[in-house]
Structure 1
Amino acid sequence: MATNQQLTTIKCLILDHFITFNELSSIISYTPDLRRLHFSHRHERDTTIGSMSSIALTNLTYLSLRIFSLNFHDFEIFIGKIHSKLITLSVNISSNDFTYLDAYRWERLILQHLSQLERFSFQYLDHVDNEHRYFEGLNQFCSPFWIKRQWIFDAKIVDEGIVYVVHPYKKRWYEYTDERMVNSSTDLCQCHRLILNITSCDEFNELMKIEIQRILTVVQLYHLEIHDIEMAVDKLLEIIDLFPNLISIKIDSLSLTQANVSCKKIVNISQSTKNTDKITMFYLDNITEMKEVYLLMKLCPHLTYLRIESLGGIDAELFVEEILKKINQECHDSLRWLCFF
């Protein structure tokens, strides 16, 4: 423990290496004026969490930490021993303890020890190959506690596994007007999004299907984003078939040639699932031919909002003329917003 002569005036401390909680306690005993703290903790080196001294950091308002292998119970002990007025908490977690996905435990912890918290975010990495099972608790992050604070729950599938994310709500691409911004508990509960980062359609395999089914035991998903790939239509339909509640999709581009099937056959395939009927918003980063748009209108008959970031080499005036003609011919009267740049 530091003496008065050893105290420093450091206000921001970044410990960009692994330390134990006791090592942390010793270090920050020298920094009573600390306002911002970032550190990484690895549990294999730490067996003394219960004996850790309480830490009085009355000026600390920002805490960011990375956690490896620590169970949630020990994390609760650590938070309980920090006496501060945190405004911002950011936690990055890699652990086999699925209690980190228990929204009610987080709610209790925050109400008991972090009552002044305004900004909260966490990322939890599930490696999927572990044998632990999730607890029963679908959509826990939709309780009034989370809705009031506008902290929303998303998921991402990455090379390492599944990343679950809680973060403050921000306006998204489909909230295209002020009137469309979320303003109710129902809206926020339907903000749950899955992001897929894949570079080849071959990556959508049985393992990814298992990962998606695993996510759906935790949260209902309403929005899907697929990055870094030209998506074949038949593969896109196969993915959509896994999501019964999708209302929006965002993809980079759509490939008709990769699918190697006719538009008529693709539409017939889509009729085998009713999931496309619920999709009302679609974002294409770019297109190369009008047929892609016509096909989307066929696949998603209740589409109300279509956004295209780039028309490629297509003439904008011709594009609008052809789309309006198609709408009139096929009585596609649900489309209300057509945005392109």
Structure 2
Amino acid sequence: MATNQQLTTIKCLILDHFITFNELSSIISYTPDLRRLHFSHRHERDTTIGSMSSIALTNLTYLSLRIFSLNFHDFEIFIGKIHSKLITLSVNISSNDFTYLDAYRWERLILQHLSQLERFSFQYLDHVDNEHRYFEGLNQFFSPFWIKRQWIFDVKIVDEGIVYVVHPYKKRWYEYTDERMVNSSTDLCQCHRLILNITSCDEFNELMKIEIQRILTVVQLYHLEIHDIEMAVDKLLEIIDLFPNLISIKIDSLSLTQANVSCKKIVNISQSTKNTDKITKFYLDNITEMKEVYLLMKLCPHLTYLRIDSLGGIDAELFVEEILKKINQECHDSLRWLCFFDLDADEEMIKTLELIDSKKLLRDYTIKRVVEHIYLHWK
């Protein structure tokens, strides 16, 4: 341990290599003024946690660490030996110990040793080495403890496996209109989201279905985002069929040609599942033709909020007019919000869009511009 003559005034320490707990204890004994610490725990089995001395770091407010193969019990011991007033804790975990998904153990640990914690995030990587081993404990992360702190639970499927994430809540795309939230109440109990990062529809295979079923034993999912792919409609419906409680979907683009079936047949396929009935918000990043939007309106009959970022060269005035005509023709009474992005959006465009009045397409409506986004809302 360090003597008084060896103490340093270092306030931020980044250890960009793997160390054991005893090595960490020795290093930080020299840094009593430490405020921010980042380190990675060594891969090999570390038996030094029991012999690690307790250290008082009264100035430490930020701790970030990466953990490999460490069980949760030993992690609890480590946190208990670091006496500090942590405000921020960030943990990146790769381990076979499912206890890291036990929200009640986290709650107990935080209440006992991290009472001043304000910002908490962790990522737990599940390699799915054995698909027959599951965590038993559905929807633990929306107890009053987590809701009060607005720490929410999300999931990602990546090449390495399943990543479970807890992080501070931030407003999402479906909660904004003209700089306000669509819903006045933040229902954190229904904010759990799955993010799929895939580059080909072929990646949605039996392994991914197993991963999704595995996820659904841990958390009930209400929001789905699929990135980096032009999604074929029939494949999208196949994915939706796995999630009985979806409220919102965000995808990059929709392919009608890849499906190799008619729109009428696609709609008939969608009727085999009732899961699309619950979808009320849809974000389509790009479109190339209007029939993609029409199809979404058929697939999701209770859609209330539609957002499109790129109109693919379609004139904004024509886009709005055609959608409103379609709504009136087919009595799509649920749709109430339309948001789209246009680089040319300005006050002149707002005036141009007042065709709504002249053509009597809507009665009670508001239309606003926020930078390059146009928000149209009607009652």
**TM-score, with normalisation over the residues of structure 2?**
0.88
Greater shift after overlay, 94-103 or 134-143?
134-143
Relative distance call for 1:322 and 1:282 in structure 2 (3 A) is same
- Report the CA distance between 1:176 and its aligned residue: 1.5
Q: Does 1:237 align with 2:237?
A: yes
Contact 1:61 1:84 in 2 (8 A): yes
Greater shift after overlay, 62-71 or 176-185?
176-185
Contact 1:193 1:223 in 2 (8 A): yes
Identical-residue share of aligned pairs (%):
99
Q: Does 1:95 align with 2:95?
A: yes
> Secondary structure of the equivalent of 1:182?
coil
Report the Cα distance in structure 2 between the residues aligned to 1:21 and 1:2, rounded to whole angstroms.
16
Report the Cα distance in structure 1 between the residues aligned to 2:75 and 2:280, rounded to whole angstroms.
41
> Secondary structure of the equivalent of 2:173?
coil
Report the Cα distance in structure 2 between the residues aligned to 1:296 and 1:132, rounded to whole angstroms.
36
Alignment length (residue pairs): 341
Contact 1:17 1:40 in 2 (8 A): yes
Question: Which residue matches 1:211?
Answer: 211
Report the Cα distance in structure 1 between the residues aligned to 2:178 and 2:30, rounded to whole angstroms.
49
Report the Cα distance in structure 1 between the residues aligned to 2:131 and 2:43, rounded to whole angstroms.
20
Report the Cα distance in structure 2 between the residues aligned to 1:5 and 1:220, rounded to whole angstroms.
56
- Report the CA distance between 1:130 and its aligned residue: 3.1
Contact 2:131 2:210 in 1 (8 A): no
- Report the CA distance between 1:134 and its aligned residue: 2.6
Contact 1:96 1:132 in 2 (8 A): no
- Report the CA distance between 1:180 and its aligned residue: 6.8
Question: Which residue matches 2:79?
Answer: 79
Relative distance call for 1:338 and 1:183 in structure 2 (3 A) is closer
- Report the CA distance between 1:265 and its aligned residue: 0.2
Report the Cα distance in structure 2 between the residues aligned to 1:114 and 1:215, rounded to whole angstroms.
28
- Report the CA distance between 1:34 and its aligned residue: 0.1
Question: Which residue matches 1:276?
Answer: 276
Report the Cα distance in structure 1 between the residues aligned to 2:181 and 2:339, rounded to whole angstroms.
17
- Report the CA distance between 1:182 and its aligned residue: 9.2
- Report the CA distance between 1:152 and its aligned residue: 0.1
Relative distance call for 1:87 and 1:279 in structure 2 (3 A) is same
Contact 2:297 2:303 in 1 (8 A): yes
Residues 152-185 of structure 1, C-alpha deviation per residue, up to 9 Å, x if partnerless?
0000000000000000000000002489749899
Relative distance call for 1:239 and 1:131 in structure 2 (3 A) is closer
Residues 83-139 of structure 1, C-alpha deviation per residue, up to 9 Å, x if partnerless?
000000000000000000000000000000000000000000000123672332110
Report the Cα distance in structure 1 between the residues aligned to 2:276 and 2:79, rounded to whole angstroms.
45
- Report the CA distance between 1:47 and its aligned residue: 1.2
Relative distance call for 1:67 and 1:27 in structure 2 (3 A) is same
Residues 265-305 of structure 1, C-alpha deviation per residue, up to 9 Å, x if partnerless?
00000000000000000001010000000000000000000
- Report the CA distance between 1:46 and its aligned residue: 1.6
- Report the CA distance between 1:333 and its aligned residue: 1.0
Contact 2:18 2:40 in 1 (8 A): yes
Report the Cα distance in structure 1 between the residues aligned to 2:270 and 2:182, rounded to whole angstroms.
30
**Structure 1 residues without counterparts, runs of 5 or longer:** none
Structure whose alpha-carbon radius of gyration is higher: 2
Contact 1:153 1:192 in 2 (8 A): yes
Relative distance call for 1:182 and 1:8 in structure 2 (3 A) is farther
> Secondary structure of the equivalent of 2:187?
helix
Relative distance call for 1:187 and 1:299 in structure 2 (3 A) is same
Residues 294-329 of structure 1, C-alpha deviation per residue, up to 9 Å, x if partnerless?
000000000000000010111111111111110010
> Secondary structure of the equivalent of 2:258?
coil
Contact 1:150 1:169 in 2 (8 A): yes
Question: Which residue matches 1:120?
Answer: 120
> Secondary structure of the equivalent of 1:277?
helix
**Structure 2 residues without counterparts, runs of 5 or longer:** 342-379
